[in-house]
Structure 1
């Protein structure tokens, strides 16, 4: 299974580099095709893989620390809160280098608010969390809509950006995202054993020497940092972090030493494939925002989880 997954990932990367509005023939490259491949297509494919890995990794951590199989950056309101911060930063003329920082602060604020609303008597109610996440998405969307209306000149392209996509990609942005992902991944893998203990009830985890509050706060900050950086570069791409941790757990088990890696790999595979589909699904060279593709996939998966685990949600 592991070899098959790696084979599919490499095949997806190669196919994504060759497919698009202009099909590239790898064994007979023209000068134009070479420029398209190395100047546009390759950085975009690598960028989509890194963003997918970031979202997959954050989704795995959210679902573990919140003990909620429906938790990801979108359903918890972290993505929309981060997007709100990014939009306001752009509208107010804050330097682009500081946009991810503002997105991180608002994303953390939104996630912590949802967490407080869902936590009662030391336990997290999954239904309350999803409802609070929905409310956060609605409020953030309303403020973003007001910003689009009030700052119309500076946010003329924000509607397309909020659908999620890889519209402006370069090697510098790719390097930033690779660095953030690598640091976050190393920090999580060093604490994989503690994260496994966090899957127990809080009393048992504390008895085994885990500072639950500190570890959960650390996990929230790093996971939301991944979401904030991704959102500030690509807009809202929902449900990647919802789907891939479930697939990783079903194929390779729930041990976080494996789940962190395979959630990242499956996230990269899923988003690269979705971006390729978004580029070729409309004839004539038009491009569909990749957030629409992931929303369609994630929406169906979300309904499946609600249907199969409905009793467990309502009765805790």
Structure 2
């Protein structure tokens, strides 16, 4: 199954580079089309794939470590706190290249706050963490709403960024995201057996010699770093971190060694497909924010899975 999906992914990525307001025939390209392909579309497709993998992988780890099928970057407050920094940066007129820095800093600040609020006698309480994340999400959303109301001149830019999209792609951003994703992915793959044990109740996991507190803390921090980096570069792209882990778990089982791989791959698929649709769905060259596409596709597929696999949708 892995070779088949990887082959399908590569073919889809190549086809996505040809699709856009101007369709490119790879067998008869002009010099301008070649520049568009290599300098614009190719890095954009790769960037969408990497961001999708980051969101899918983070959602899988959130749901496992917090033992909550609704856990994702929104319920933990990571996405909203990152978005708050970007919104404030846009509102006060910070240069574009510093918007991602603001988002990353506030995302990590939100992580530290949620983490400290969820500590009980030196240990993370998953329920408290979800509650703290929800509170963080509400507070950050309120401050974002205030920014949209108060800074009317920047309203259009703020709203467009909050809808999510693959903006201002560059090779250095792509390299940074790829490096972070690769490091986190291989670390989590090495910890797959321990993550499977973490899916048990805490006493059983500890009786097997697992340091539950340490592993849960490290996994949560790494997942939040993935989300903060992704949101800082692409805005809020919903549903990927929530839907993709469910799909991977439902189709391929709950073994984390497989789930980490398939959550990353399916996240790449979903965001790459959504970004391709966003470039062509509106005639005349206008682009639809990709967050709208992911919400529609994710919601419809989620309803389909609920209808057809409701009895075995959450395996572990």
Q: Shared fold by TM > 0.5?
A: yes
**1:25 aligned to 2:25?**
yes
Closer, same or farther in 2 for the Cα pair 1:169/1:192, shift >3 Å?
same
Q: Secondary structure at 1:157's aligned position in 2?
A: helix
Paired residue secondary structure (1:283): coil
Listed one character per residue, the Cα deviations across residues 255-306 of structure 1 (whole Å, up to 9, x for unaligned) are 1112111111111111101111111111111100000011122334556678
Q: Distance in 2 between matches of 1:277 and 1:153?
A: 30
State whether structure 2 residue 296 is matched by structure 1 residue 293.
no
- Relative to structure 1, the CA distance from residue 200 to residue 275 in structure 2 (aligned partners, 3 Å threshold; closer, same or farther) is same
**1:229-308 equivalences in 2 (<5 Å):** 229-301=229-301
Unpaired runs of at least 5, structure 2? none
User: What runs of 5+ residues in structure 1 fail to find an aligned partner?
Assistant: none
Task: Answer yes or no: is the 8 Å Cα contact 2:62–2:223 preserved in 1.
Answer: yes
CA distance in 1: counterparts of 2:137 and 2:300, whole angstroms: 19
- Segment of structure 1 superposing worse, 68-77 or 182-191: 68-77
| Matched residue, 2:105 | 102
Give, in whole Å, the separation in 2 of the partners of 1:111 and 1:271. Answer: 28
What is the rounded CA distance, in whole Å, between the counterparts of 1:123 and 1:184 in structure 2?
21
Alignment size in residue pairs: 306
Determine if contact 2:167/2:233 at 8 Å carries over to the other structure. no
Equivalent positions of 1:115-126 (< 5 A) are: 124=127
Question: Quick check: 2:91–2:158 contact (8 Å CA) kept in 1?
Answer: no
Q: Which residue of 2 aligns with 1:58?
A: 58
Counterpart of 2:223 in structure 1 is: 223
Corresponding residue for 1:67?
Answer: 67
In structure 2, C-alpha distance between the alignment counterparts of 1:262 and 1:244, rounded to whole Å:
9
Deviations, residues 113-171 of structure 1 (Å, cap 9, x unaligned)? 89679xxx96639xx94x87665444322211222343455675121111000121111
Alpha-carbon distance, 1:75 to partner: 3.8
Q: Could you tell me the TM-score, scaled by structure 1's length?
A: 0.86
Distance 1:112-1:299 versus aligned 2 partners, 3 A rule: farther
Work out the CA distance in 2 between the residues paired with 1:246 and 1:106: 28
Which range moved further: 244-253 or 284-293?
A: 244-253
How far apart, CA to CA, are the structure 1 residues paired with 2:9 and 2:125?
Answer: 41
SS at 1:264's partner residue?
helix
Q: Residues 174-201 of structure 1, C-alpha deviation per residue, up to 9 Å, x if partnerless?
A: 0110011111112211211111110000
Distance 1:134 1:22 in 2: 43
2:172 aligned with 1:172: yes
